[in-house]
Each structure stands twice: as C-alpha cells, then as structure tokens.
Amino acid sequence: MTNPSSPTSGVQLLEVSPEYAGQRIDNFLRTQLKGVPKTLIYRILRKGEVRVNKGRIKPEYKLQAGDVVRVPPLRLPDRDEPEPVAQGLLQRLEAAIVYEDKALIVLNKPAGIAVHGGSGLNYGVIEAFRQLRPDAKDLELVHRLDRDTSGLLMIAKKRSMLRHLHEALRGDGVDKRYMALVRGYWPTAKKQVSAPLLKSNLRSGERMVEVNPEGKEALTVFRVLRRFGEFATLIEAKPVTGRTHQIRVHTQYAGHSIAGDSKYGDDDFTREVREMGGKRLFLHAYELIVPMPDGSQLRVEAPVDELWSKTLERLSA
C-alpha cells in the first residue's frame, strides 16, 4: 500500500497478502496507515466505515489471505513528510544502537523515552526509527519497555523477523534479564515470585496492575547481585512470563519495591535515593539472549547510564 501524495486520500482498497493472514484488522491498519492517529483508526472501525469483502467487521476481526479491505477517505500526511522528530533525540537513539543487521535493531533505550507515541506524545522510539531508517518499510517494535525503564529493546526491520521473534517470545525462547535497585535486604533464599497479575485502568486512563487471584499467571526469577547494607539490594530479575509491569509489581509484592517507581514504589526510599542523585526508575534491561532464524544465538548486553553508576557509587561509599 502506498500513501497518496495529496494530504487527503480517496477510498483505498487493500488486498491482504498471505504474510498478514491471522493479524487483527486494527493492527493491520496501524501498520498500513503510517502517520494516521490510532484514535482515528479505531473511530472508523467503530463506526463500521472499514469493510472487509464489502461487509462490516469488528476491530478484533482476524484477516485472511485474499481479503479486500476498504478504507474510507482519510487525511494522511505525505509519506515524505513524517512528523519531524527532534534532531537531538534522533542522535541519542542512533548512538544507543548496540546491534543491527538486515532484519533487526537492538538498542539500549534511555530512561524517560516512550517506545511509541500516544497519550499526549507525538512520537517515541519507533516513530524516531522510521525517520532514521526510511528505507525499512516494515519497522515494528518486537516488544515493549515502560517509558521510565532503560535497556535493551528490539525493533524488527522485516516482517519475517517480527514473526520469528514473537514466536520465540511466546515459546520462552528469549532470555531477558533486568537489573533493579530495590528497598531493603533482599534474602538470598528468595529466588522467585509467583503471583497472578490483573490489569485495570483508572478513571484518569492510567494503567495499574495488582496481584489478584483472578489475574494471569506470572513468574519472575530473582538473584542477588550486590548489597548496600540493610538499605538496598541490587538484584537481577528474569521474567519467565511477560506481563505488564511484572517486575515492578512482583518486587513490591515481595516487600522490596524499586527505587524511583512513582506507581508501585516506596516514597521514602525513592526520596533517599534521589537525594544521592538517583532521579530515575532503577530498572534496566541489561542482557538479552535471542534465537536467530538461522539457528544461532544472539547475545547482547547494555551498560547502565552514568546516573545509575554514580548513584551506586554513593550508596557503597
């Protein structure tokens, strides 16, 4: 599908190729209609303005090869004029790449940068990389990191790599490890937390997660890396399942919340760490072991930022 050169397009008919079979219509339209706000895509779906094979469908409809999708006239930005991303951010993200080949980018995402636009943000990592790599037409996030979490983030440049990695993530083939600075003395014997997690949205639209028997099964494996007396512990966290905010909620549930966590943290602990210069969420995705399509393994590590390092130096002084 190509965007028209004029800002307003007429009716578009998109034929679904086999590689998109099984994808939800809303996700398909988000990848095809670059630059169109998600809210507009969901609005035309809700109003029944998108037709598949001339019939109305729901946003959760799964496409089949050969389907013909009718998209109503939309205002689209010119493909050659994407929402400009600040040059400074582009340079930071280019410098943050730790691995790149023809099908995959892995970067060490800085804390404080969202992975995609939305919720009042015009752009995030994925929008920036679409500007940095304009020739890669199928750039998609493989997974997500919370805005305030730093560390390793994968972006697929080809749909075949995206499908391969999604399958690996579902089948427990990807080994992701995080470092977290938590409150108090984490016992060496506490090697895992298994507690079901339930997502809910507050009136403000903010997403909260809590341990709840009605939630989805969630398991995180932990290991002590370094102690700072009784005050704090640096731990490694390996999420076996991939639930939203999993590590943050499991550490809180264990009684050892993460420093700088405004949502699930301990205000007094966060304040004391901040006084040492630690003004960030102390959760960092530092190691990734990924099975590649050719049967090899890719292993990448990402160093922590200077603020993190200096805070730990002050803690150990």
- Segment 167-195, tens digit of pLDDT: 999 888 899 999 999 999 999 999 999 99
Supply 42's token pair: 């969901």
The string of pLDDT tens digits covering residues 59-81 is: 788 999 999 999 998 865 555 44
> Would you say 155 and 139 are in contact if contact means Cβ atoms under 8 Å apart?
yes
pLDDT of res. 84:
67
* Distances, alpha carbon 312 to alpha carbons 91, 149, 281, 299, in Å: 27, 17, 13, 25
State yes or no: pLDDT of 277 exceeds 80: yes
pLDDT of res. 118:
64
Cα distance from N-terminal residue to C-terminal residue, the chain: 59
> Could you give the CA distance from residue 66 to residue 58 in angstroms, rounded to a whole number?
18
State yes or no: pLDDT of 3 exceeds 80: no
Supply 57's token pair: 């469908």
pLDDT of res. 204:
67
Q: What is the pTM of this model?
A: 0.74
Does 146 participate in catalysis according to the annotation?
yes
| DSSP string of 264-281, one letter each residue | TS-HHHHHHHHHTT--S-
Catalytically annotated residue among 146, 261, 266, 294: 146
The string of pLDDT tens digits covering residues 248-274 is: 999 999 999 999 999 999 999 999 999
pLDDT category at 122 given cuts 50, 70, 90 is low
The string of pLDDT tens digits covering residues 207-235 is: 899 999 999 999 999 999 999 999 999 99
